[in-house]
Structures are given as structure tokens and as C-alpha cells.
A and B are shown apart, each in its own frame.
Chain A
């Protein structure tokens, strides 16, 4: 079952669920799609909350009726939670206040498996179900709700068709997939593509069609010049808090690990514009006892036009360090892939404290084959050889590296819908638009590329824990300072939906309790320990 929740759900029991078991029948396009989804529109939240309260009191008053209720609940329009609660309330035979409007609902012929919390409806003859309203203002809301419910249904239909199309692609039925793509593109015109499901669906439709028509090289998706990528990355940094959270959390951990050391060396696996390091330089400048000698080695892609972008960033950081009186040295390592980097290029001094910083880079090393010397193992072993004081790892909290295409597609749909929702809160343009393009490229890579072209192989924190523990690292707990700083940082963002969670010493940032990005810190286990701790 796919969980899809695109609206704020603070009313409690409103998690949406879509069933994909009706996929085979969806191509016959019934007049109303088979759906078991529940959505609460934010405009309805107050009413729904009131009704849930009444339901709660009613349930408290008549406990004996509850079990009967659970089995006999009749769903008229399961996509409307408000309606369902009303239907429950009528079951309790509360005297309904006079209704001032009608809410005409077609019955849904539910033939499908239902979520365990709700029960299936028996097919019923069409009835007019009167919504219980309390004042006239709600009649207008209800009329609006009808209109938007139809758009909601189109959105849900889109999701269903996307799932069906992905299934066809997985099974190789490309002709059906192609016709579904045409249908979906037609359906897109009925749906609001400015925000919500329409926008995300549009990107997924594009990615699917690229997969079908251009094969799985998907060169243009993975490409885009390094220059473009930097710009998009920068705007993604500005538009939403994920990268800021990553930078600040990693910096805090590195700062604490460097405590007491006078020569420190940071290795950054993806320098980009170096936006992470000013804050660390400033924190080191102000640390009690004075700043250490800071060396920074930044790894980045080689510039195509001879412009030494790494060196420029290094110069900028050096100027900043000079202004705040921190002794600073920079070294740039140009490598198109992380596995091409060899430890001797980093020139690590044995006396210095080393920190390795990887912001969303390790997942690129995961190949699809689980061979002995896969790039990730090579890189992790030389990192271990450096004996770093700390290795900070920030990765997307998603499972986009499964071998089965449909599973991957489903996960990606859920993950990127959530991310796009969180992006809605951003108001600054053009940052928001470019951030969306950045995410769109990720989607394209996850969906339409295979083999070595697919680099966005995200894995969840639990898998990374196993992998890193197996490679000889042990987890360091991110302290309470990191948590406090992350919470404060999030409070600064005007959207109220972000949440920081602590999970066994790792921090994750999410939107409405769906974690989207997770930060963790690691240290190499000394070699002689490894024999005892390896299992």
C-alpha cells in the first residue's frame, strides 16, 4: 500500500493511503476512480476536528456500539474524511442539527482491499448524504469542496496511473506504458500543476517517458555541466533548510571533535561553493584557546573550461580566514568521480586531526552489483586508513536503491512529493524555481537511469549504519548542542512543518515527521579492535 500524504495533517487521524491493488482495472477508466484515500484539506481541519471531538464523546458514551460501528461503517466518499466522520456520528443516532446544504456524493463501488483501520463498503444504491453543518458559511465550503474534491480525484487518478505505468515499465509492457503516459499528460491539464500533486506528477511523467523513449542511459539527466549543477545546488541551499541543516550539524560535530587540537585538516568530498566552511572558520576563530591551523582539502569535479573554480573558492575562504585571523591553507583536488580520489592526493599529515565530510556523496559510490571491491568499500577503507577524528555523513533518508523498479518508483514518488510540499513554503524566487529543477534532476536520475548512469542511489540511515559498522566505523553521538542548533535553525524558517528528530545519536530533518535527510557522525575503530568487534 502506498502512503501518500500531501496536506498538513494535524487533525490527527488523517494519513492517506492509496491501494495499488486495483491497478489492473484502472485502465478501464470507471467514471469515478476506485480509491481508498483519505485527505483532509486544510480548510476543513477545523470542522473535522470539531466532529472528531464529538465522535470521541459519542464513542465514550456508548462503548458497546463501537465494535458494531467498526464493522458496519458505510463509506460514501472515502476521500472525504469529514464525510466519513459525519456518517459515523449519524450511526450514533445523535440528533442531527438542521442541514443547510447538500453534499451530493456518488457511491464508490469498493471492490478492493482496504486499510485495516477502515472497512469496506458494500455497494449501495445512490443516496444523497447530507452533511451535518452548523452554519451557512459551511455551505459555501462544501460547494468548494465538491469542486476541489474532483480535482483531488484527478490527482489521485494521476498517482494511480503513475503506479500502473511504472508497473508496466517493470514488466516490459512498453506499449501500454506509452499510452498511459499520453493519458496522464492529458490528465495533467485538469490538475493544478502549480503546486501539489500536479507538479510532482509532471516531473515523474517526464522521467518515465524519458526512460521509455530514450532508454536508460539518460545522459542528459545525469549531465548538465558542473557549472549548472553548482548554481542549482546553491539555490537549493537557499530555498530550503536541508543543506543548511546538514552544514550546521556537521560543523558542530567537527568543532567538538577538533577540541584541543592545534592542527586540523578537513576533507570535503564535494566543495561546490564552499558554503559550509565560513561558519566553521568563524567558530574556530572564536573557540576558547584560539583558533588552530586549519587546512581544507576540497574535492570537486574538474572544470571543463579551464577555469579553476576550486582554487577560486579556496581563495575566497582564505580571505575570510585572514579577516578573522585563522591560519588557513587550502588544497583543491579535481576528480570527476569520488572513487578516483586516492588518499595520497589529500596529503594528510599524521600529526593533524582529520575530519572527513561527506554531504550526499557516499550514495554515489554504491553500484548495483555487490562485488567485493565496489567503490564504496574502496573509499571507506582508505578513509579508515586516514584515521579521522570524525567522519560526518549526511544522506537522503530514502530507499532509492532497491533493485525492483516499481518499489523504487513508489518510494521516490512518496519521498519527492514530501520534499516538494516542504518547498511550497519557500517564497523567494528564483531560488524556489531553481531548487525545483535541482530536485527534478534527482528524480530523473532515480527513475530514468540505470547502471553506472544512476548515481542517486539513496539508502536509509539504517542501511548506512550497517554498512559503516561493517566497514570498521563506530557511531559518534551528535550532542545536544547540535540538536539545539538544528531546532533553532528550523524555527527561523517561516514554514512550520519542519521537524528535527534524534535517532540513536543521529539527527534527521523532515517535513511533518517524514524524515527527508539524516546526519550522522562516525569514527574509525582502531584496527586491533576490529577483530574483537567484527561478527
Chain B
């Protein structure tokens, strides 16, 4: 026993010579989530490529849900089931909410925050509907490789 103590002392003593990390964020997932919740969309995507743990957390839809409803009072609970059915919050954010917010940012009025999300939801629903059509089309309809209903939200490409 005495020998063990001495060995531990020796070890800790040895490690004290190098800088021993006192705090590793990946050990504290709840804090990590709190931090990642506050990132913007782009940073969150970047964060997903840091390591497997961060990737798993960043893919969690609840983070994107918080991102969508940032600056807006929390929505009624029925919204979540609808959004999940239509493709999830990450898709809602990257496809609709972010372009809508950035475009409307130019003429933003404070009262529009909630309406922005509602408009995004409507556009998202049309997008889901078009995706349904793509997968169910029987070849007679022109095949759409990607639903284009939201293309007007994309940055225009200089032809």
C-alpha cells in the first residue's frame, strides 16, 4: 500500500512536470451542448467536423430547433411533430429559415421574426411536397433531380 501511494505520487509528480489538462470539454457533454446551442448555422456545420462526438451532437435536431426559433418565442408543441414529419429542423433551417432571414435582414422589422418562421415553414412544406413528387413520379412527369421550389432562395448564379 505504501508502495502504491508512492507510485501514484511519483506519477502525479511526473505529470505535474508536463501541463496536465484540467478540463476537457468532451468530458462534459452537457456544457458542450449548451455552447453549441448558441452557435449560428454555419459554425454549427463546421463544428460537426471537429470530432465524432461533436458530429453526433451537431446532428441532433434539437440544436437546430433552437436555432430556428432563436429570437422568437417558443412555438407550440404541435410544431415539432409537423417539422419532423416534413424533414427535420436542420433541413428547415438550412433550406428555408437561413435564406429567409438573411434576405429579409435587409428590410427586417422586429415584428417579422415570428412571421419569418411561419413563412419558412410554409415554403418548407411546399418543398417537402415536391420531394414527394420526385420520388413518386412514374417517369411521365419530368424528373426533377432536386426540388426547385426553394431555388429562388438560393444565391443567383451569374450565368
Please say whether chains A and B are actual partners in one complex: yes
14 new A-B pairs (CB below 8 Å) besides A285-B82, A492-B153?
A237-B149, A238-B152, A278-B126, A278-B128, A281-B125, A282-B125, A315-B136, A316-B133, A320-B125, A325-B81, A325-B82, A325-B85, A428-B148, A428-B154
- Our pick among A273, A278, A484 for the contact of B125 (Cβ within 8 Å) is A278
The residues of A that contact B123 with a CB separation of less than 8 Å are: 279
Instruction: Please pick, from A312, A324, A488, A494, the residue contacting B115 in the complex, using a CB distance under 8 A.
Output: A488
Q: B residues near A, CB below 8 A?
A: 76, 78-79, 81-82, 85-86, 99-100, 103-104, 106-107, 112, 115-116, 119, 121-123, 125-126, 128-130, 132-133, 136, 138, 140, 142, 148-149, 151-154, 156-159
Set of chain B residues within 8 Å of A241, measured between Cβ atoms = 152
Give the chain A neighbours of B85 by CB distance below 8 A: 323-325
Q: Select from chain B the residue with minimum beta-carbon distance to A240.
A: B152
Query: Which residue of A248, A282, A492 contacts B104 across the interface (Cβ within 8 Å)?
Result: A492
Query: Is B148 touching A488 in the complex (CB atoms < 8 A)?
Result: no
* A-B residue pairs in contact (CB < 8 Å), sample of 29: A231-B142, A238-B151, A241-B152, A248-B122, A251-B122, A275-B130, A286-B78, A312-B136, A312-B138, A315-B136, A317-B129, A320-B129, A323-B86, A323-B128, A324-B82, A324-B85, A324-B86, A427-B156, A427-B157, A428-B151, A428-B156, A431-B148, A488-B104, A488-B116, A491-B104, A491-B106, A493-B152, A494-B103, A494-B156
Assess A307 versus B76: contact at CB under 8 Å? Given A325-B81, A488-B116, A494-B156: no
Q: Are A489 and B86 in contact (CB under 8 A)?
A: no
Chain B residues lying within 8 Å of A350, measured Cβ to Cβ, are none
Chain A: minimal CB distance from B111 (Å)? 8
A296 to B78, CA, bound (A): 23
Query: Could you say which of A274, A286, A319, A323 contacts B79, with CB atoms under 8 Å apart?
Result: A286
Rounded to whole angstroms, the CA-CA distance of A358 and B113 in the bound complex is 31
**B79, B122, B128, B152: the one within 8 Å of A428 (CB):** B152
Q: How far is the CB of B79 from chain A (nearest CB, A)?
A: 6
CA distance A488 to B153 in the complex (A): 13
Q: Are A320 and B132 in contact (CB under 8 A)?
A: yes
B14 to chain A, nearest CB (A): 60
Q: Does A316 lie within 8 Å of B79, measured CB to CB?
A: no
- With a cutoff of 8 Å between Cβ atoms, the chain B residues found around residue A146 in the complex are none
Query: Which chain A residues border B79 with CB–CB below 8 Å?
Result: 286
Whether the pair A492, B129 counts as a contact (CB closer than 8 A) is no
Which of chain B's residues have a CB closer than 8 A to the CB of A325? 81-82, 85
Residue of A nearest to B105 (CB): A491
Per the bound structure, the CA–CA distance linking A281 and B142 in Å amounts to 25
A485 within 8 A of B: yes
**Any B CB within 8 A of the CB of A429:** yes
In the complex formed, the residue of B with least CB distance to A319 is B132
Closest approach, in angstroms, between the C-beta of B53 and any C-beta of chain A? 32
Residues in B whose Cβ lies below 8 Å from that of A494: 103, 152, 156
Name the residue in A282, A323, A429 with the highest tally of chain B Cβ atoms < 10 Å from its Cβ. A282
Secondary structure at the A interface, as helix, strand, loop or mixed, is helix
Q: Give the Cβ gap from A486 to chain B, nearest Cβ, in Å.
A: 10
A279-B126, A286-B78, A323-B86 given; A492·B140 CB < 8 A:
no
**Given A324-B86, A492-B100, residue A278 in contact with residue B129 (CB < 8 A):** yes
For B154, the chain A residues whose CB sits under 8 A away are 428
Expressed in whole angstroms, the Cα–Cα distance for A492 and B107 within the complex equals 10
Residue ID in chain A nearest B140 by CB atoms: A307
| Residue from B107, B126, B138, B149 in contact with A491 in the complex, judged by beta carbons closer than 8 Å | B107
Out of A279, A316, A489, name the residue touching B132 (CB < 8 Å).
Answer: A316
By beta carbon, the residue of chain A nearest B82 is: A324
Chain B residue at minimum C-beta to C-beta distance from A274: B129
Residues on the A chain within 8 Å of B104, using CB: 488, 491-492
Question: Bound state CA distance, A348 and B107, in angstroms?
Answer: 44
Q: Which of chain A's residues have a CB closer than 8 A to the CB of B157?
A: 427
Task: Please give, as numbers and ranges, the residues of chain B lying within 8 Å of A484 by CB-CB distance.
Answer: 112, 115
User: A323 to chain B: which residues have CB within 8 Å?
Assistant: 85-86, 128
Contacts of A319 in B (CB 8 A): 132
Beta-carbon nearest neighbor of B126 in chain A: A278
Q: Does A31 contact B (CB under 8 A)?
A: no
Point out which of B123, B128, B152 has the most chain A C-beta atoms below 10 A from its C-beta: B152
Alpha-carbon distance A497/B13, docked complex (angstroms): 73
- Chain B residues in 8 Å Cβ range of A493: 152
Within 8 A of B (CB), among A422-466: 426-429, 431
A105: Cβ under 8 A from any B Cβ? no
B-side contacts of A273, CB under 8 Å: 133
Is A195's CB within 8 Å of the partner chain B? no
CB closest chain-A residue, reference B130? A275
Question: In angstroms, how far is the closest chain B Cβ from the Cβ of A187?
Answer: 27
Question: Cα distance A275–B130 when bound, in Å?
Answer: 8
Q: What does the 1/0 interface line of A324-343 toward B look like (CB < 8 Å)? A: 11000000000000000000
Q: Are A285 and B129 in contact (CB under 8 A)?
A: no
**Chain A residues with CB under 8 A of B107:** 491
Chain A residue, CB-CB nearest to B87: A323
Candidates A279, A307, A315, A491; contact of B122 at CB < 8 Å:
A279
Segment 479-512 of A: residues with Cβ below 8 Å from B: 484-485, 488-489, 491-494
Bitwise, A291-333 to B at CB < 8 A (1) or not (0) is 0000000000000000100001001110110011100000000
Nearest Cβ in chain B — how far from A419, in angstroms?
Answer: 17
Please provide the 5 A-B residue pairs with the shortest distance between their CB atoms, ordered closest to farther.
Answer: A427-B156, A282-B125, A278-B129, A323-B85, A279-B122
User: Closest residue to B154 on the A side, CB-wise?
Assistant: A428
Q: Are the CB atoms of B119 and A275 closer together than 8 Å?
A: no
A312 CA / B133 CA spacing, docked (Å): 9
